[in-house]
Amino acid sequence: MKNHKRAWATVNLSKLEKNINTIKQQISPSTGIMAVVKADAYGHGEKEVLRKLESIGIKYFAVSNLDEAISVRNICPDGDILILGYTPPEYADELIQHNIIQCIVSEEYASELNKNAVSPVRCHIKLDTGMGRIGLKYSKVSDCCDSVERIAALPTLSVEGLFTHFSVADSDDAENIEYTKKQADFIKSVYHTLEKRGTKLLHMHFLNSAGTGYHYDSESTLARIGITMYGLYPNYALPLPCAVEPVMEFKAVISNVKTAVKGDFISYGRTYEATEPVKIATATVGYADGYSRLLSSKGQVLIKGKRCRIVGRICMDQMMIDVTDVDVKAGDIVTLIGKDGDDVITADELASWYGTIGYEVVCGISKRVPRIYI
């Protein structure tokens, strides 16, 4: 407990491994796992997560930017690391030096990267099949293939693959299911047409976590597993075909317990007024730790296996909880995310209380919250 000074997160690496193995059982051996470890492994802690992933045989990793890629390279010297976004072309030498695979976001970008590179830069070309962010956008397969071939012909680019990103794979709406199918069909048509023309690429991948869970297709050579690897759902309301377990728990302690009488106000703004005597506990966690202020008077926590509601506005470093029905004292543990007794609060459930997604919750747990690895 000496590390548990005020607020902390535990990261269960055994559950991470179990989730990976569960996902592997749902897909073909022809599809490799590309672990998405951007944003400090979705807030779980890059170093320990990468070491665990590497120890169980994961060799493909995806990140957001060059700094993240270099950090992963320092931990995983033999991994294949793909940057999913833009890197300024003038950093071509660093891409080469660290053996990083760069996403090609457009034909113009490919030309600039080629001009700045002194030797081949490994690349995967991004196709915009309906996400509307980055990538080659064409309505005709033949035109898209022409563009890919022009990029592949550039002397200092080594094009190894194509990829795209699903935008509504986490929906069971009929129109969205058809939209996802069209996205997959387009990239597969481009890949196979290129092969017929004589351009054979090592990789074609279009499965994100939602795609892997709800729309698996063995033609995708890689499954880019992000949120499900960490035990959360792409869509909280839509069950996955395989059960994954949350890897992270988030906890704090009670620092003070007092009784508020009728007419007393709690926290900033006087948004909560006691209408009868109520026992109030102060917990040592707030929005600077990543527990959103939007959960003020909405969120719930677990104390001694019982649900207790947050009252008043969440402060930067503290928040107040109605513990009238629980026997508590200073030093008792408050579970913000995780299991206590027979009950559990997941990041997905917490996210649903204020209209966001579990991704944002775990990524938002701040750096000042120590991670303790199990």
Question: Mind telling me the catalytic residues?
Answer: 38, 268
* 209-220 as b/e: b if 16+ CB within 10 A: bbbbbbbebebb
Report which of 329, 333, 279, 281 is spatially closest to residue 303, judged by C-alpha positions: 333
Indicate if the alpha-carbon torsion angle 216, 217, 222, 224 is positive or negative: negative
C-alpha 110/C-alpha 108 separation (Å) is 5
CB under 8 Å to 279, separation ≥6 — which residues?
Answer: 257, 258, 259, 260, 322, 323, 324, 328
Q: Which helix (H) or strand (E) holds 311?
A: strand 306-311
* DSSP code per residue over 41-110: HHTT-HHHHHHHHHHTT--EEEESSHHHHHHHHHH-TT-EEEE-S---GGGHHHHHHTTPEEEE--HHHH
Closest CA to 92 of 64, 69, 112: 112
Cβ-count burial 265-284 (b if 16+ within 10 Å, e if not): ebbeeeebebeeebbbbbbb
With both helix axes pointing from N to C terminus, report the angle between 141-152 and 174-197 in degrees, rounded to the nearest 10.
Answer: 50
The answer to whether 337 and 361 have CB atoms below 8 angstroms apart is: yes
